[in-house]
Chains A and B, each alone.
Chain A
Amino acid sequence: MSTVTARPDSAWDRVKDFTPPPRYIPIIATFALFVGLFGVGGMRYDGLTDPQVLISLLIDNAFLIVLGVGMTFVILTGGIDLSVGSVVALSTMIAAKTLQMGWSPYLSIAAVLLTGTVLGLLMGLLIHYFDIQPFIATLAGLFLARGLTYLISVESISINNSTFSELAFGTVYLGDYYIRWTALLALAVVAIAAYVLARTRFGRTVYAIGGSESSAMLMGLRVAFTKVGVYVISGFCAALAGLLFSLYILSGNSLHAIGMELDAIAAVVIGGTLLTGGRGYVVGTLLGVLVLGAIKTLISFDGTLSSYWIRIITGVLLLTFVVVQRFATRRQQ
């Protein structure tokens, strides 16, 4: 029998055998999907290839991007935050009500951000120190925040504070195109989050907890601080998203953002973050939001499809991604 010797690989073999590190595959898939959506759409509908359409995607989904960023932190630790949709509604309501009562807009913004952060802190403490399932604790948070919204007002309150409107329509021009500063803020949040997750001890501890909480504890990492911290971040992001949403919609309403937490979770999952924790990137979440937004845009460009197709396609996509992830993680083992 002859021994098998390794032949030098031809260039083609190397191309054929090239695989990106497995941890980037989900993100690459999401990116390809996004490009594909626009590619196919661009061939069918004129005007879709206009860069302004792309920028509008960012503008229209700024609040969802911020929400998704907070959710990514939580999911990376292996948790979940169901309260964020209600916190968005509560935030619009607090903003509208306080402005109506004549508060300074800055005070009002501070009140909103503080409320969201404190709610996040409470849920984080419950989850870590009382060992309550994140699903349950944040479900309670969901009801609580929604209830508080009704408590403030059952009626919708419109926002017509001038500072707020200025903020809402603040625009930056880039040559022929324009972008709202709310979108820039959302991108800044993504950048900060990406930095924190990749380059700070807090961020790496988030991943470590998602990998194995007991190991993280035995390694002497700051598990309690980090675990509570991610819910605080998520609460803060939800409040910020709520502000962006109220700028977008200029009213406070207890019926706002019903089920928005599910959009955020969908964006995170489509962006390639594992629901079991430990693997994923905020950039993926940004792409996830854009994919969801692109579906909406495509359907509205088409004009003949009803809007419920958005939900159906989102559902199908979500399923596909979860299945792909399953295979991706199984292959690694």
Chain B
Amino acid sequence: MTQMTEPDVVTAPGTDPQPVIEMRDISITFGAVRALDEVSLRLFPGEVHALMGENGAGKSTLIKALTGVYTIDEGTVLVEGESHEFHSPAASQAAGISTVYQEVNLVPNLTVAENMLLGREPRRFGAISVREMNRRARRTLLHLGVDIDPRSVLDEHPIAVQQLVAIARAVDVEAKVLILDEPTSSLDADEVEKLFTVMRRLRDEGVAIVFVSHFLDQIYEIADRMTILRNGRLVEERMVAETTQLELVRLMIGRELETLERLDREAPNTEAESGTPVLKAVGLGRKNTLEATDLELFEGEVVGIAGLLGSGRTELARLLFGADHADTGELTVRSEKRRLRSPRHAIDRRIAFSSEDRKAEGVVQDLTVADNMLLALQASRGWLRPIPQATRTKLVTEYIKALDIRPADPTALMRNLSGGNQQKVLLARWLITQPDILILDEPTRGIDIGAKAQIQAKVAELAAQGMSVVFISAELEEVLRLSDRLVVMRDRRKIDERRNDDVSVRDVLEIIAGEAHPEGDPHA
């Protein structure tokens, strides 16, 4: 909900108090790319400041310029009125700027508690006090509503939890400025709400918060003021309460978004549910991960999996693909009863899986966009049969255009792409293989609204051509918009399945909430 009850927390321009941080006319050039062109940003104490813009607009670059990851080519940074530039993340941190970068930047091999407190561990007589560290970590995590063992190793946890740990690390310090670059990209509504509670508390204590998100509803709920970027340039600084959503979108993309209203698919594809399923799981399960689950997927059908964090949605996807071993049940691919022993097996059977964890399992940072896109196709052909140059160029150009990847340069190195654009490349990689079955786990994570619409259109188009899709997303609206059939999960099991005719987000939430006593109503 839009909150307009307290518009004057931040005073109007002109009578402003002194900003804690002011960035003036910042420019940064990477080789030939001018990533930032005279961008300015003002942060006031006690405000939530949204940094808005499409994928590749320069949001993360601006943040990294401030915190000393990148060197500023031109422009000045003022900290409490005094010119001051940071030359390393450590320096900005020491000056009271606490940052969660876009990619989860934690170390996978250490415990949750260490990840939260590395560099400022509590010490007794010079030695790190592990007990005190775990205690402190647990307390901060509980504030965020995360109930995990702080002694567990970080990479045992799903991405969403890792994201929460990164947030916990940032809010645990006494900071003047808190920067959150897309902290909510894989969180559910519940976790977002808890994060917002913490953010509001910090804001009221006078912290200046920078918040980046592609979810406009979140912006309207939490932000006071915003700075809008487009193509590395400053568009405008605005009060959120004085800007309508439509206006905001226009400012971000520079034109009306004609696709926004067109997103809804026509009637769900009901005739698909006939014949033999292309993929059929009977009693598929894994200890401590997923209870025995049945699932059928028909040709040309999009099955959406809805469920909250920890409901087992990702686990189901991984079992369907063979990324994890199933202890029980069996999987039939086109009436061929087979155990998928490995991803390799699945790929041979024309199943593709785009994982939620793009950093660990997806992108190869040092290869070009084209190479990253063609990786899966090349692997499925075998390395001895190179893809002809003409085909390569055709495919790559087609998908760069279809998914609006920027820069539209096949030879750009993956590491130089913005987060959202990397995600698009990853998605293109699987779409290019033209699989019969495509399993997408959070495919639109961190992607802006315009591109999201394009991706959804592309998925719908491929489904219409006969591809079967399993679609998972923390964003329920998106799942509902795309799917023909809906599977609802909770507590590591399937609790409901229904055709998606006019199911609303509310309906889904009710299904999830209604299942509070699973023993009470055993399902068919």
Does the CB pair B522–A1 fall under 8 Å?
yes
**Inter-chain contacts of B109 with A (CB < 8 A):** 207, 210-211, 278-279
Among the listed stretches A137-145, A163-171, A198-206, A261-269, which one makes contact with chain B, having 4 or more residues with CB under 8 Å of it?
Answer: A198-206
Assess A278 versus B107: contact at CB under 8 Å? Given A219-B118, A221-B90. yes
Does A100 belong to the interface (CB within 8 Å)?
no
Does A4 belong to the interface (CB within 8 Å)?
yes
Does the CB pair B121–A201 fall under 8 Å?
yes
Residue of B nearest to A217 (CB): B89
A214 to B519, CA, bound (A): 48
Contact mask for chain B residues 70-106; partner A; CB cutoff 8 A; 1 contact, 0 none: 0000000000000000001110111000010100011
Contact mask for chain A residues 251-263; partner B; CB cutoff 8 A; 1 contact, 0 none: 0000000000000
List residues 5-44 of chain A with CB under 8 A from any CB of chain B: 21-23
Does the CB pair A4–B291 fall under 8 Å?
yes
A1 to B329, CA, bound (A): 14
Does A216 belong to the interface (CB within 8 Å)?
yes
What is the number of residues of chain B that contact chain A, defined by CB distance less than 8 Å?
Answer: 32
Does the CB pair A208–B89 fall under 8 Å?
no
Residue of A nearest to B119 (CB): A221
Does the CB pair A207–B153 fall under 8 Å?
no
Q: Which residue of B94, B110, B292 has the most chain A CB atoms within 10 A of its CB atom?
A: B110
Does the CB pair A220–B107 fall under 8 Å?
no
A199 to B125, CA, bound (A): 11
**Inter-chain contacts of B291 with A (CB < 8 A):** 4
A226 to chain B, nearest CB (A): 11
Contact mask for chain B residues 459-478; partner A; CB cutoff 8 A; 1 contact, 0 none: 00000000000000000000
Does the CB pair A204–B518 fall under 8 Å?
no
Assess A3 versus B107: contact at CB under 8 Å? Given A220-B93, A220-B94. no
**Inter-chain contacts of B127 with A (CB < 8 A):** 195, 199-200
A198 to B92, CA, bound (A): 27
Partner of B153, one of A23, A212, A215, A217: A23
Does the CB pair A211–B108 fall under 8 Å?
yes
Does B128 belong to the interface (CB within 8 Å)?
yes
A224 to B110, CA, bound (A): 20
Does B248 belong to the interface (CB within 8 Å)?
no
Partner of B69, one of A200, A205, A218, A332: A218
Partner of B108, one of A22, A212, A217: A212
Contact mask for chain A residues 41-53; partner B; CB cutoff 8 A; 1 contact, 0 none: 0000000000000
A1 to B524, CA, bound (A): 7
Does the CB pair A4–B121 fall under 8 Å?
no
Does B441 belong to the interface (CB within 8 Å)?
no
Partner of A4, one of B99, B110, B128, B292: B292
Does B404 belong to the interface (CB within 8 Å)?
no
Across the A-B interface, the 9 shortest Cβ-Cβ residue pairs:
A211-B107, A220-B93, A278-B109, A220-B90, A211-B109, A199-B127, A215-B105, A218-B105, A208-B107
A-B contact pairs, 18 of them (CB 8 A): A2-B522, A3-B518, A3-B522, A22-B153, A200-B128, A201-B119, A204-B118, A208-B114, A210-B109, A214-B105, A216-B107, A216-B118, A217-B89, A218-B99, A219-B106, A219-B118, A220-B119, A332-B156
What residues of chain B have their CB less than 8 Å away from a CB belonging to chain A? 69, 88-90, 92-94, 99, 101, 105-110, 114, 118-119, 121, 126-128, 153, 155-156, 169, 291-292, 518-519, 522, 524
- Given contacts A214-B105, A217-B88, 12 further A-B pairs with CB under 8 A are A21-B153, A195-B127, A201-B119, A207-B109, A208-B110, A208-B118, A210-B109, A212-B107, A215-B105, A220-B92, A220-B93, A220-B94
